[in-house]
Structure 1
Amino acid sequence: MQNPDTIWSTLGAAARSAAYDNTNAVANSAALNQERIEASAAYRAAHGGALDLAYQPGERTAWDLYPAADPAAPCLVFIHGGYWWKNRRQDFACLAAGIAAHGWSVAVPGYDLAPAVSVSAIVAQIRASLDWLQAQGAAHGIAGRVIVSGWSAGGHLAAMALDHPLIAAGMGISGVYELGPLRDTNLNQYLRLSDDDLTQASPLRLPVVDKEFAIAYGAAELPALIHSSRDFHAHRAASQAPGVLLPVAHADHFTIIAQLREPDSRLIRCILDLERFAAR
């Protein structure tokens, strides 16, 4: 499995875009997404904890909170993906089920999307959302230790949020940790990546945060996504930062997050371990 970044200069525009095109790489991605959206609508209806709580003015810049019975229970913050230009927090609610079965709270932030805002602005919004949760979470039944996670673009945003004082540890799932190649793909029609975005919002270019950060990816993902996870893990390991590299057998970019709905899945067990490590 060759890392496309090593032959990037030899690839044409179509091949560069295909290297990061998760949707077309997974034949049933539309059906998987639709099932998740429908399951999330049902979950929100059945678990309407504290929904649509604004942390900044705007429709998207809000929290959906699902507090546990015990306010002191750990909390998983889950950041949705969509290559920073699509999707919404409401359509990922069902992913709270797996960790909630262990008595955890779950908090899902939204954020504005490109091209209306830059990737760097989205990073800043996630940090603002965590500021709000740090100040207001207890009033809504969330006062325990916080682990941050996210999928795809959300994995990138989780890595960028790891140094926030509220965050004890984190896990990126199928993340993109170097933004540079994306500027050469059709994604850039939405992202409009600047030089500052590349240098200030690429986790692989930034100082390592010495908190535990697990890095998960599907073994059936596109090579570019697999190598991004491996490279970020190696980058952190070189500074002796803690965190496992977690390939999930047979999982692709879309099936991997179904594990968050299963209380005994590898991803849920990893999140539980992150909290235990942080508690020591």
Structure 2
Amino acid sequence: MATAIYRGMTRQELDTAYSNTGRIADFPALMRDFRARSDAFHAAHDCRRDLRYGPGARQTFDWLASGRPDAPVFVFIHGGYWQSCVKEDFAFCAAGPLARGHDVILAEYTLAPEASMTQIVAEIGHLLDHLAPRLAGRRLCLAGHSAGGHLAAMHRGHPAVGSVLAISGLFDLEPIGLGQLNDKLQLTEAEIAACSPQRIIAPGAPMLVAVGAGELPELIRQSDDYAEACRQAGERAVLLHVPGCDHFQVLDDLAEPAGAQLTALAALDMRP
């Protein structure tokens, strides 16, 4: 009989519990659709591509301008469990915040196994350090999806960040370190402790924690637990279960200017 290793789950059950792609009938087709929509979006909008924030090959970002010199800035960090995908796959998501008057920055970062989790987290900090003097006081929302949601939450205390949108994030890395996702990440116990947002809650920007109402139970639990832990610590964290959305449909909602996430984010930003 297989041994339970996390919350009553065996290794195989744990891998299934975090397999977002396993619930999609044809995941490659979904990603082809995302890329086609992103390519069409890029073709229709002016964008400064592959600007650099560091010397690494993937230490780059794209900047889409709204046309207002004082526009708030929406920085989006893509997912892929820290080991796959590129910013060009998700450019279509910028349509929502751009239509709401934000400049949008699409962030890239080095993936595992080339980079450790510690290095990946540090790269997003370097990006924010690079952007801060160039924003001239403009409000910055740091957003991310899945692994990007984790990275956004890790930097809610950065002085340049005015608000955070953490979408379908991973906030406690313990289960990641116990399953097949760790084959490339090679997380250590010290790294899990230092890079799990739920374990290092400190004063930071107000945050919207969003997760699809139809996502895997473990993803929903991670968001629920993190939002509650932040509230218990006295931090402003609003939890949103996005109706009718799985792990990838939440990106369709983000791309909609009147979608549930951007509507809730605007309400969060308006609160004192």
TM band (smaller chain): over 0.9
Match of 1:150 in 2: 144
Q: Is the 8 A contact 1:32 1:255 kept in 2?
A: no
- 1:145 deviates by 0.6
| Residue 229 (structure 2) pairs with residue 235 (structure 1) | yes
Post-superposition Cα deviations, 1:167-213, rounded to whole Å, max 9, x if no partner, equal 00111100010001111111111111012210110001103334211
Report the secondary structure of 1:65's partner residue.
strand
Please report how far the alpha carbon of residue 120 of structure 1 lies from its aligned counterpart in structure 2 after TM superposition.
Answer: 1.3
Separation of aligned partners in 1, 2:5 and 2:209 = 24
Q: State the TM-score, normalizing by the size of structure 1.
A: 0.91
- 2:265 is aligned with 1:276: no
2:249 aligns with 255
Residue in structure 1 matching 2:202, options 197, 200, 208: 208
By how many angstroms is 1:108 displaced?
1.1
Percentage of identical aligned residues: 37
Q: Aligned-pair RMSD on alpha carbons?
A: 1.6
Which structure 1 residue ranges, 5 or more long, are not aligned? 1-5
Task: Deviation per CA, 1:48-101: give whole Å up to 9, x if none.
Answer: 321100101122110100112111111111110000000111211111101111
Larger RCO: 1 or 2 (CA < 8 Å, sep 6+): 1
Q: Do 1:79 and 1:154's aligned partners in 2 also have CA atoms closer than 8 Å?
A: yes
Alignment of 1:1-280 (within 5 A): 8=6, 10-137=8-135, 144-277=138-271, 280=272
Is contact 1:80–1:89 with CA below 8 Å preserved after alignment? yes
Work out the CA distance in 2 between the residues paired with 1:228 and 1:71: 37
Unpaired runs of 5+ residues, structure 2, are none
- Answer whether contact 1:220 1:252 (CA < 8 A) is retained: yes
Equivalent pair of 2:201/2:230 in contact (CA under 8 Å): no
One-letter amino acid matched to 2:63: L
1:131, CA displacement in angstroms? 0.7
